Amino acid sequence: MTRGIGRRHLLTTGAAAIGGTAVGWGTRGVVDDPAAPAAAAAEATPAVLGGDVEPFHGVHQAGITTVPQAQTSLLGLDLLADPDAPGAPVDLDGLARLLRLLSDDASRLTAGGGALADTEPELAVRPARLTVTFGFGPRVLASLRPAYDPGLEPLPEFAQDALDPAWGQTDLLVQVSSDDPVSVAHARRMLLKDAAPFTRTTWVQEGFRRARGSDPDGTTMRNLMGQVDGTVNLPTADQGRLLWSTGRAAGFDGGTFLVVRRIAMDMVDWDRTDRVAREFSVGRRLSDGAPLTGGAEHDEPDFEATDASGFPVIDPASHVRRARSDDPEQQFLRRGYNYSLPTGETGLLFLAYAADLARQFVPVQARLDELDLLNEWVTAIGSAVYAVPPACVEGDFVGREMLGLPPPTVSGSAVPTPTTPTSPNGDTP
């Protein structure tokens, strides 16, 4: 009896025949176009971004207007006794030695090289846009250069704050940022080794954003409450006037001032709050960050718009309304980072840079402190301010002019100070 050809047999043999034909076509294509395999491989291989470098030297320090990296680590350091004179505080010369070490190693690490005494230089070869930014607290300037006044003052007290001294003011700040957590961890270790003879590490605050490439360039970050955070920021056109200091003090032109605020979030109560109440408190939609009166994130809020009952669509006590000012001077550059601890504490590292904190930052914060619906769920538990000097040229160190010290010499001649109007990292003075 002749057995019929089963359906399974037909399908498998047919597939084999088609597959064989397809292989034939594919082989002919490769022969005809030798570049095809290389092009296909290049298309399938993701870009490697670890070699991207942000220049350390220039006019302004990197890490301020640099496109925010995925990871940051803030190091709050307090000066110890002078290692060469036990019992005496670190003097100006001691601080200069420290800054010389820190600047030299930072310049090496950000370029993808090991620090001077690096025992693991292999960890430094992928800087992934590593930046190291230095700032000085009010105490170090008042004690070491009492006659020098760049305009740095502590912030006033705010009623809504619940500040923990553990996250308070320090003498120095070192901000280490990169798209790669290994680069951040290694650079932090090298810099803290440099600083150990001169300083005590008072706190380390670590923050993160989405990994580079997770969102298109220019996407506003989201905080861990799910909000689009930082839609309104200092425009590039205003940075020369409202970001960089000019004429305040010798050696500080091209510098800026920084506020570091550690903001804890009550996520337990936030989780109990419905979406309507969340959006009402912020004045923006959670889905895309658009104002409640707009259709897209960057639409201008209409604070005069009312609903069918005659009530304002955007509540006068909402965060977006209280943060907004009609004074064009009340703007600053912000860089936010999320943080989340194993203890359950969740929040935001809020960094604000401005040429004049009293004129630009304090009025905005005072309005939020007085009345802001979002205060129900957020509390500042840490706060500090710093004077961030301009960058240095190769062979010099950050803060040298600010401290009134002579330039280092190379082969009998002084290292030149930067005079170009534009720094290598694209900033303008």
User: Which amino acids are annotated catalytic?
Assistant: 229
The Cα–Cα gap between 279 and 288 comes to: 11
Task: Enter the tokens of residue 375.
Answer: 């205060």
The Cα–Cα gap between 135 and 322 comes to: 29
Task: Enter the tokens of residue 292.
Answer: 């409640």
Question: Which residues are within 8 A (CB) of 316 and not within 5 positions of it... i.e. 6 or more apart?
Answer: 303
- The widest CA-to-CA distance across the chain, in whole angstroms, is 112
Question: At residue 133, what is the residue type?
Answer: T
Question: At residue 56, what is the residue type?
Answer: F
Closest CA to 182 of 104, 107, 130, 113: 130
Residue 173 backbone zone (phi > 0: left; psi -120 to 50: alpha; other: beta): beta
The Cα–Cα gap between 346 and 342 comes to: 9
Burial code (b: 16+ CB inside 10 Å, e: under 16) for 289-309 equals bbbbbbeeeeeebebeeeeee
Strand ranges in 301-410 using DSSP code E only, listed in sequence order: 333-340, 346-354, 378-388, 409-410
Contact in structure between 415 and 407 (CB atoms under 8 Å) = yes
Task: Enter the tokens of residue 219.
Answer: 């996407």
For 280, the 3-state DSSP assignment is helix
The Cα–Cα gap between 163 and 229 comes to: 22
- Counting Cα atoms < 13 Å in the Cβ hemisphere of 31 gives 6
Q: Which residue has the tokens 């960089």?
A: 244
Task: Enter the tokens of residue 163.
Answer: 């500040």
